[in-house]
Every structure is written in structure tokens, then in C-alpha cells.
Structure 1
């Protein structure tokens, strides 16, 4: 099981982030990861399979998943879909915390689910159109969504164990941010432990207990995901991509890439070029 911490940056001019899910074309799997922000996945066409805290949640058209701060999750998107993702900074809810920097929302279906889906769709639609005054419209819809979340979906009965788990993953988030900045260099567990003032044994156990993976696999996951993005968005050679993302050579990248995505980097690069060619000449 591989995952990574994700750093969330809001859309320019807005207090949150909204975008179309990057796995909308299908044949996509996002490894287990976590972030401090609250995240909503709203499916408007097609289906997704969501993995949250070792549970499986199939998401069909018209359904959404709310991911709490520091909940480890992954997403399987084998088929094309249209899914809007909305990410809300945790600090937004500071007046409603039920523990130290802690708030939790239910995953259970509620009668208000349809309202949530409509608000997210309207937020994205207004943001995409960007007509005169769209910022005010988007923010108005956004605050209606926040009101719905804190009044109908917030859980007030939280356990000390939940808060403790949240705090541990907050500490891991600081370490993960550092790794995300330095993943392309040689970054041993020993060096990382020294930087953050932990023993190697303690840091290793911390990853294993609270994130369910060893450090080496975690780092590998980040590197292969970054390589995937580089292959999709640049014309760098596979060897260049390997070196840019911390792999010793193209063979090591190919092995990790095939394990994660079920194809070789060369196959993926070929698919991307074919897709771009078709977009440039749609009538061919």
C-alpha cells in the first residue's frame, strides 16, 4: 500500500480549490495519501471506487465522498468519469473544531446530499464561466456549502483516539512536505530522522503505524507519481525523467512505473502522443 501527503493550494482569488479530477479519462489509480484540508469528490458522470480507512466506497453518478483532514484515502478510476473535486483548508473551520485543530464530518448518506451535489456543481460552473462578478457568486455558493457542512455533517462525538491519530499525521505532514521538496535527491531515512530530531527507529515506526507503509515505499510512490506527471507534460526522454525524479536509471523507473500503472513509461508516452495528435486532427 503506497500513499503520499498532498499539499493543497487554493485557486487564485478564492479561499478554496476546485477542479476536475485528473483521473477523468479512466485507467487511473491515485495511491493512498492524505492532507490537512477537507476534500469532497462529487461524481456527475460515471463511477469511481474510493478507499477510505481500509473501507471501500463505490461512488456512482450523483454521489460524493467527503474526506476528513488527515484521513488516508485512495481513488480507483478505471473508466471515464466527470468528477469535481473541492478542497477546503482546515483553518476555514477553526470556529467549529471539536478538538485541537480537529473537526470531523460524517461519511453517512444524509437527506442533504442532493443539495451538496448541486452546490458543488454550481460552484464549478460559475468558476469555469468566469463572467462578470463570478467571484462573488462562487464565494456565495461556497459559504452556503460550508454552512451545510457544519450544521448537518459535522460530528461532535469524537474520541481521544481520533484526535491522537490526527495529531500524529499532522507531524508526519511536516516531514512529508520536506520529502516532496527533496524527493529527487538521495534522501535516506537516517538523514530525514536527523533533520527532524527523531531516531531512525522511531520515525520508521511512525510511518508504519500511522500511515501503514514503510518509508522506502512511500518515497518510491512520490517519485513514480512525479515521473508520471513529467511524462504527461513534457517531452523529456524516459532516461531524463528517471534522473529528474530520483531513479538511478530508466530501468528502475520502468519497473516502478509498470508496477503502479500496469504499463511501461514508453507505452504511456506513446498513448499521450497519440491523444495529442488526435486532439490536433480530430477528423482523421
Structure 2
């Protein structure tokens, strides 16, 4: 399987993640990958080409697409675009599963639904503008989106083949979910393998086969993702952020951060504070 598992961390204080698509400048390709979260791309300007389970779905301004949990997809952005991405963890839909942790939405036939696209744009703008009381407004828009997804898009009957395919990837998803819940601890591969009833070697091979990454690196990715979020959204010291997110020391965290991003965490924080709300939608 030549595709990777994508790690998705919700925004601080919210049950979702919303952001501008990183391929907005065009000439961009995101290779095949998958994740457990439901993902919606709402194209506001320009165009994108999606490839979902070997089918192509071109999108233009005013259209959107829903990517289901464990659905293998890739994205081509040959030209400039402005696209808002909303990622919703699967557990938000647990009261509506049609089988074990299984839910599907009609994601390709409904690309012209302007109401859903409009709501996602409104959600993003409210979130980044951060006016007084924005938390309540943001959540009210999010719940309206959830209501529309369940009412108008949910597929109530799933084919057994779809369920089997999803379960193959869901095994690793459950493990990575556990890791995200315990990443602050000294989480050893042997302990994790025992928790899920696998041998160390089998679990190690599972990461290499499905996530295309080794266990240790994946755990560090989780820690770094949460530390990065804390860096930009709190006033905690670098040392506190490091220790709060499972790193042994601030020095180790800073070194790993610079290796990954080419900049020290203190400098990254300074630069991001200067940007302010530059990326907000007018």
C-alpha cells in the first residue's frame, strides 16, 4: 500500500481543525494518504483536483467535497486557490455509526451544495477573527454543519466491502488514537503492543506498512504537533511546553523543533505573533 496515515490534531479548545489549504499557491501535490477524521474541502477561489479511491473529482470555486474516514485520497492543485479545510474527528459522530466505528457521507455527488460551503467559510472567518464571544459563535456554526452532515449527507446503508476495507485501516487508527491520549507518558512500543495484544515486531511492521513511518518517529510527531499548537496558542515557556508534551527537556525539544522546521521555537513564536490575522478571509 503506497499511502500514508495523516495525523490530525484538533484546534485548541475545539472538537475540530479548520485552516486554509496549504496548496493555495498552486503547483502543489499531496500524495495518497488517509486519516480517521472526516475532512471537507470548500473551494472559495481557483480549483483543485481530487483523486478518491482511483476516481477523479475536479472542484472549482463554490464547490466542496467530503472525504470519509479511512478513504485513500490525493490532491493536485495546479493553480492558485483559496480553500478552507475542516477536519472533524470520527468520535464526534459516534452516536450515528452504522457499524463498528463506521459512518459514511455522500462526498462526491454533492459538490455544488452552496450552503455547506458557505457555512465552512463562515466558520473559518469567525474562528480567525476571534471577536468577543467568538467561541460560542464558532461552535454554533460548527453544530449547524454537523446537523446538515447527519441530516442530508449520511449514508444509512453501507456495503460490507466498504466496512471490511475501513476496518483494515481502523486497527491502526485505534492504536494511534490511544497514542494521542497517552503521548505525554513514557510510551514504549512493548507496552503499547501488549495493550493491544500484539508482539513488538508485529506492531512495528504495522506502522511501517500502513503509516509508512516507524513507531518512535510517529510518537515524536504526535508530541511535536501538540507542542507546536501550544507554542502558537499559549504563553507557556518553552521549557513548560516541552515537559507538558512528553519531551525530556527544553533543549531536546528545541533541537528536534529546529531539525523539523528549520527555526527555533522561540523564533517561530515571535514570527507568528507578528503575522497576526494576516490569513483571515476578507
Q: Which position in structure 2 is the counterpart of 1:34? A: 35
Distance between the aligned counterparts of 1:245 and 1:48, measured in 2? 35
Indicate conservation of the 8 Å contact 2:42/2:120, yes or no.
Answer: no
Partner of 1:3: 6
Q: Does 1:120 align with 2:124?
A: no
Partner of 2:130: none
In 2, Cα distance between equivalents of 1:248 and 1:10:
25
Label 1:143 to 1:238 Cα distance change in 2 as closer, same or farther (>3 A): closer
SS, match of residue 41 in structure 2: strand
| SS state at 2:213 partner | coil
Unaligned runs of 5+ in 2: 127-132
Of residues 180-189 and 41-50 in structure 1, the stretch that sits farther from structure 2 once superposed is: 41-50
Displacement, 1:140?
Answer: 7.5
- Tell me if the contact between 2:70 and 2:169 (Cα under 8 Å) persists in the aligned partners: yes
Gap change, CA 1:181 and 1:91, over 3 Å in 2: closer
Q: Is the 8 A contact 1:242 1:253 kept in 2?
A: yes
Contact 1:86 1:120 in 2 (8 A): no
- Tell me how far 1:25 sits from its aligned partner: 12
C-alpha distance in structure 2 between counterparts of 1:251 and 1:53, whole Å: 43
Aligned CA distance change for structure 1 residues 64 and 217 (closer, same or farther; 3 Å) = farther
Match of residue 84 from structure 2:
83
Cα offset, 1:194, TM superposition = 1.8
Q: TM-score, normalized by length of structure 2?
A: 0.64
What is the rounded CA distance, in whole Å, between the counterparts of 1:263 and 1:143 in structure 2? Answer: 41
Is the deviation greater in 262-271 or in 43-52? 43-52
Distance 2:183 2:7 in 1: 12
Q: Is the 8 A contact 2:42 2:85 kept in 1?
A: yes
Deviates more, 1:211-220 or 1:55-64: 55-64
Q: How does 1:164-183 map to 2 (within 5 A)?
A: 164-183=164-183
Does 208-217 or 68-77 show the bigger shift? 68-77
Give TM-score scaled by structure 1 length.
0.64
Provide the rounded CA distance (Å) in 1 between the counterparts of 2:57 and 2:256.
27
Contact 2:123 2:142 in 1 (8 A): yes
